[in-house]
Amino acid sequence: MHTLLLITLAVAPVTHHSARAEALFDQARGLLKENRAEEACPLFEQSQALEAGLGTLLNLADCYQRTGRNVRAYLRFNEAASWAERAGDALRLKTAEARAEALKPRLAWLTLTSAAPVPGLSVRVQEFQLELGAFPQVLPIDPGNQTLTAAAPGYQPWTQAMAFQPAEAKAVVVPALAEVVGQASLVPPLVAAPESTPAGQLSRPLPAPRRRGPVLLGTAGAVLLAAGGVGLGWSYSTYQRWAPRPAEMPAGQANAVRVLYPASWAAAGLGGALILTATGWGARQRPISVSPTPLPGGGAVAVTSSF
């Protein structure tokens, strides 16, 4: 008798959640048939939160794509492909992979690197936030105007506005963030305020002049890192394009991939080393923005900084 009671208590919530998840799923499917995807997506999200299912995940990804949230759709289709592969579901695996691959040309790609990683450093772009350490991170971006914000506890945030085109690849080096100086911290003596300054307020000391060497070294590292990222992106996309029929790949492109792929890794590694060296040199540099654009057979890199 006691065992039966325990089983009933354990199963009842699950049954309730399953029924609710199924009802939300059916309601969302009905909205999709009526071309009301904006209303359907939240219902798919709730259904998936109550009871995760591969079918619900695929429908959620499809709903995101219908509403123009292609990055979310791409990530969900990739998640569904991994799930289907683990489950041995070949049909859904093929569907999810094909849908994710078809979205790639509609996305932009951003490579993020930190010139001076600090504990808790995170970057927010669109609706996503990621931790940024010593190694570059690549993430898909919806084309259009986007804002990057880097922040860490005890440091002033850094923000940069960027514009992305479909299939465009860009790289950004987040500069060393300025520390937030507390009142109890040891700071250089402050200069007395002029007579016009209200009593009790002091003017801020002039910043120390920046040295040009570390900035030039960091810029060179950023260029190499960006060039390596563009080369890796081109090599990967070219390989993926011809992967189903490698024998048909033009000889020129095949030779370019063989040479460019290892060279790009070397350039990215050297660039990262130069950036870390410049950071260790003690440079207080302003943001360095690197914007590579892939071109047929190569790429162009634009670097912006201040000296």
Sketch the domain layout of the chain as residue ranges. Answer: 2-106, 108-180+210-304
CA distances, 28 to each of 37, 39, 40, 71, 175 (Å): 8, 8, 4, 21, 44
Residue 161 has pLDDT above 50, yes or no: yes
What band does 261 get if pLDDT is binned at 50, 70 and 90?
Answer: confident
Average per-residue pLDDT for the chain: 75
- Let me know if the fold of 2-106 is the same as that of 108-180+210-304: no
Lowest mean pLDDT among 12-16, 74-78, 117-121: 12-16
The end-to-end CA distance of the chain, in Å, is 81
| CA angle, residues 57, 67, 35, in degrees to nearest 5 | 90
The larger pLDDT score, comparing residue 258 to residue 184, is at 258
Q: What average pLDDT score do residues 89-95 get?
A: 95
pLDDT of 237 reads 67
- The fold of the 108-180+210-304 domain, in CATH, is Immunoglobulin-like (2.60.40)
What is the tens place of the pLDDT at every residue in 171-207? Answer: 999 999 999 986 444 444 444 434 433 333 333 333 4
* C-beta of residue 212 within 8 angstroms of C-beta of residue 200: no
CA 116 to CA 221: how far, in whole Å? 13
**Per-residue 3-state assignment (H helix, E strand, C coil) for the chain:** CHHHHHHHHHHHHHHHHHHHHHHHHHHHHHHHHCCCHHHHHHHHHHHHHHCCCHHHHHHHHHHHHHCCCHHHHHHHHHHHHHHHHHHCCHHHHHHHHHHHHHHHHHCEEEEEEECCCCCCCEEEECCEEEECCCCCEEEEECCEEEEEEEECCCECCEEEEEEECCCCEEEEEECCCCECCCCCCCCCCCECCCCCCCCCCCECCCCCCCCHHHHHHHHHHHHHHHHHHHHHHHHHHHHHHHCCCHHHCCHHHHHHHHHHHHHHHHHHHHHHHHHHHHHHCCCCCCCEEEEEEEECCEEEEEEECCC
The reported pLDDT for the residue numbered 90 is 95
283, 294 contact by CB (below 8 A): no
The CA angle 143-146-140, to the nearest 5 degrees, is: 50
Please tell me which residue, 110 or 235, carries the higher pLDDT value.
110
Q: What is the pLDDT of residues 8-59, one digit of tens each?
A: 333 344 456 789 999 999 999 999 999 999 999 999 999 999 999 999 999 9
Q: Does the domain made of 2-106 have the CATH classification 1.25.40.10?
A: yes
The answer to whether the pTM exceeds 0.85 is no
Whether the pLDDT of residue 285 is over 60: the answer is: no
